[in-house]
Amino acid sequence: MRRLLTIGFGVGLAGAAGSACGAVSAAGPKVDASVQDANDPDPVFTPDQMAALALLSPSSLPAPPQDISNKMADDAAAAQLGQRFFYEAGFSGPLLDTDNDGSPASLGSPGQTGRIACAGCHLPASGFSDTRSFQRQISLGAGWGRRRAPSLLDVGQSKIVMWDGKHDALYNQVFGPLETVVEMNSSRLFMAEQVYQRYKTDYQAVFGPMPPLGDATQFPQLSAQLTGCQPKIPSDPAPTCDATFHGMPGDHAEFDGLSPANQTAVTRVVVNVGKALGAFERLLTCGPSPFDAWMHGNPSAISRAAQRGAGLFVGKAGCVTCHAGPFMSDEKFHNVGLRPEIVQQAFTDSDDHGAATGIAAALADPLNTHGAYSDGDDGRLPAAVTTAMEGAFRTPKLRCVDMRPTFMHTGQISSLAKVITFFNLGGDSSGYPGTNEIKSLGLSDLEQSDLVAFLQSLDGPGADPMYQHAP
Ligand code: HEC
Ligand code: HEC
């Protein structure tokens, strides 16, 4: 990034000269409008840009909206239990892929069990994103997934989650990593039995009586070795299990053999784990940034470049059409014309239809907010898949974006500067499903680096340290 004139110099002059022409009026942020340098032009804002910027930075950042699908969403005891679950590796089945080589970039060695916690891919010290897996693009759990682990900071602001919208609530999201062969490679039956063995008293204090999950005549006792999938090629497992998936619906084994009432009881325990996890996740925030300090009266809180970048973000560059609101996401799905590239040296997610398959899966999910496990349905799920969802992904939030190891759902873009180059070119010309919504922008080099400076000004303090480890 280009070097900027020293901020102190600009501020001093602005203070002496007062608010010069084109600068913002008293209500908005203060800019330094007195340094004459073609390589560092004065930030200038129209009233429309000012109004648009105000929407990004309310006087205080809103708490997560109410989540009526989870009546425990704001329960402190549930959140504390959720925090323990988040850091618990004991729910996971065997590691598979031989890239699990025991180095710090993996979670252990093939065949080892009990190694994969939520925190194994959502690292607290990295804004709850994955800076562990080799190359920091897609995540290595039991095997390789195909997408980048998003940061969980401010995830409580979203109702529908995942890059493709596959889960419509935090309470049902837990079934994703738990019952995926390449993530935790485990199952709801194993998790329910482990909660019974390890957390019974605390679980019951929050959610009431547990079913008799220790009674082997009713509930076959799954071991950590047997839960999950033992795929045909364990050393290189495909993302979808190609063998019996022990402990989940459709296994023709331990789970399917349970009485219908006991199947429901097991699922209910894991839904409640999800409700506790959801309560915890709602506490994870990025927090106020230098950009907010600038918006609320500190003229030198961000560089002149970042100030110009803010104007571009809501103006010429048009970012705010999708990255809207205080968390800079409209929470909708858009196709930005990203041609999947090889990540982690071996994988291309070349046939990823995004929300077209994700929303279809959410609509078909018996655990969704329309169903019996939800505490309320606020109509968050779209009625049907639309053509615009083809190849579309959920707009990522941008607070604390600079903490992310790589960018986009594939992790294929390695820096914010390259993300801006990508948008400036109007995306890739071909190689992705669906229709690209974005157009080339014609930004100069200076404007592009200004946008990067703006994105970097969105860093906040991150999650409270008390949430960054098991309680
Ligand atoms: C093996 C790595 C891995 C593990 C373990 C893991 N995750 Fe994730 N997580 C991911 C990836 C990758 C995605 C994005 C996948 C997608 O969108 O298709 C994700 C997405 C999410 C999201 C959605 C965030 C958003 O903004 O859309 C939430 C919430 C989440 N994970 C929570 C959890 C919880 C809770 C656990 C433990 C029960 C967990 N994760 C375990 C890798 C992991
Ligand atoms: C049409 C809607 C739209 C517009 C306009 C748009 N974005 Fe995005 N942005 C997205 C979507 C969707 C993604 C995720 C795409 C993916 O992973 O496939 C994204 C990804 C990003 C990311 C990566 C974040 C991450 O966690 O990976 C950044 C940074 C970003 N956008 C910034 C910008 C900036 C700056 C602009 C203006 C130049 C802009 N965006 C314009 C929708 C949009």
Note the Cα 337 to chain centre separation in Å: 20
Which pLDDT does position 7 carry in this prediction? 28
* SS3 (DSSP) at 350: coil
- Distance in angstroms (rounded) separating the CA atoms of residues 110 and 359: 33
Note the Cα 385 to chain centre separation in Å: 22
Q: Which ligand is located closest to the Cα atom of residue 157?
A: 1
**Is a pLDDT exceeding 60 seen at residue 33?**
no
Place of tokens 């398959």: 357
Which of the four pLDDT bands, split at 50, 70 and 90, describes residue 32?
Answer: low
Burial of residue 287 (number of CB atoms within 10 Å: 0-12, 13-18, 19+) = middle
Distance 24 CA to ligand 1 centre (A): 41
CB of 158 shorter than 6 A to ligand 1: yes
Which of the four pLDDT bands, split at 50, 70 and 90, describes residue 110?
Answer: very high
- Distance in angstroms (rounded) separating the CA atoms of residues 76 and 82: 10
* SS3 (DSSP) at 407: strand
The verdict on 186 and 318 lying in the same domain is: no
Which residue range(s) make up the domain with 212?
76-281
* Residue 16, in any domain of the structure: no
Do 428 and 339 meet the contact criterion of CB atoms below 8 Å apart?
Answer: yes
- Distance in angstroms (rounded) separating the CA atoms of residues 268 and 290: 43
Best CA proximity match to 362, nearest among 160, 120, 121: 160
Which pLDDT does position 1 carry in this prediction? 26
**Is a pLDDT exceeding 50 seen at residue 44?**
yes
The verdict on 146 and 237 lying in the same domain is: yes
The verdict on 55 and 104 lying in the same domain is: no
- Distance in angstroms (rounded) separating the CA atoms of residues 15 and 78: 50
- Distance in angstroms (rounded) separating the CA atoms of residues 400 and 456: 8
* Residue 93, in any domain of the structure: yes
* Residue 142, in any domain of the structure: yes
Which pLDDT does position 239 carry in this prediction? 87
* Residue 109, in any domain of the structure: yes
Burial 239-255, CB ≥16 within 10 A → b, else e: eebeebbbbbbebebbb
Distance 59 CA to ligand 2 centre (A): 25
CB of 139 shorter than 6 A to ligand 1: yes
* Residue 194, in any domain of the structure: yes
- Distance in angstroms (rounded) separating the CA atoms of residues 187 and 128: 23
- Distance in angstroms (rounded) separating the CA atoms of residues 189 and 196: 11
Q: Which ligand is located closest to the Cα atom of residue 408?
A: 2
Tell me the C-alpha to C-alpha distance, in Å, between residue 72 and each of 138, 267, 278, 280: 32, 17, 8, 10
* Of the candidate ranges 8-12, 104-108, 135-139, 417-421, the one whose mean pLDDT is the lowest: 8-12
Of the three residues 257, 281, 305, the one that is the final residue of a domain is 281
* SS3 (DSSP) at 299: coil
Q: Which ligand is located closest to the Cα atom of residue 328?
A: 2
* Residue 55, in any domain of the structure: yes
The verdict on 177 and 228 lying in the same domain is: yes
Which of the four pLDDT bands, split at 50, 70 and 90, describes residue 24?
Answer: very low
Which pLDDT does position 454 carry in this prediction? 98
The verdict on 242 and 114 lying in the same domain is: yes
Task: Give the pair of three-digit tokens for residue 21.
Answer: 């022409």
The verdict on 102 and 223 lying in the same domain is: yes
Instruction: Give the mean pLDDT of 99-119.
Output: 96
Of the three residues 221, 247, 281, the one that is the final residue of a domain is 281
Residue range 304-338, pLDDT digits in tens: 999 999 999 999 999 999 999 999 999 999 999 99
**Is a pLDDT exceeding 70 seen at residue 106?**
yes
CB of 153 shorter than 6 A to ligand 1: no
The verdict on 348 and 241 lying in the same domain is: no
User: Residue 108: which region, alpha, beta or left (left: phi > 0; alpha: psi -120 to 50)?
Assistant: left
Place of tokens 């102190």: 8
Which pLDDT does position 238 carry in this prediction? 86
Distance 358 CA to ligand 1 centre (A): 14
pTM of the model: 0.93
Residue nearest to atom 12 of ligand 2 (CA): 395
CB of 312 shorter than 6 A to ligand 1: no
Note the Cα 98 to chain centre separation in Å: 27
CB of 397 shorter than 6 A to ligand 1: no
Q: Where are the alpha helices (DSSP H) in 253-346?
A: 260-281, 290-295, 304-314
**Is a pLDDT exceeding 60 seen at residue 26?**
no
Q: How many domains does the chain have?
A: 2
Instruction: Give the mean pLDDT of 188-217.
Output: 98
Which pLDDT does position 23 carry in this prediction? 40
How many helices (H) and strands (E) the chain has is answered by 12, 4
* SS3 (DSSP) at 246: strand
Task: Give the pair of three-digit tokens for residue 169.
Answer: 């609530």
The verdict on 214 and 189 lying in the same domain is: yes
* Residue 141, in any domain of the structure: yes
* Residue 223, in any domain of the structure: yes
The verdict on 198 and 266 lying in the same domain is: yes
Residue range 406-441, pLDDT digits in tens: 999 999 999 999 999 999 999 998 889 999 999 999
Instruction: Give the mean pLDDT of 167-189.
Output: 98
CATH number, domain with residue 459: 1.10.760.10
Backbone φ and ψ for 57, nearest 5 degrees, come out as: -140, 75
CB of 317 shorter than 6 A to ligand 2: yes
Of the three residues 281, 313, 340, the one that is the final residue of a domain is 281
The verdict on 171 and 299 lying in the same domain is: no
Residue nearest to atom 14 of ligand 1 (CA): 149
**Residue 392: beta bridge partners?**
354
Radius of gyration (C-alpha) of the chain in whole angstroms: 24
The verdict on 183 and 147 lying in the same domain is: yes
- Distance in angstroms (rounded) separating the CA atoms of residues 278 and 280: 5
The verdict on 255 and 402 lying in the same domain is: no
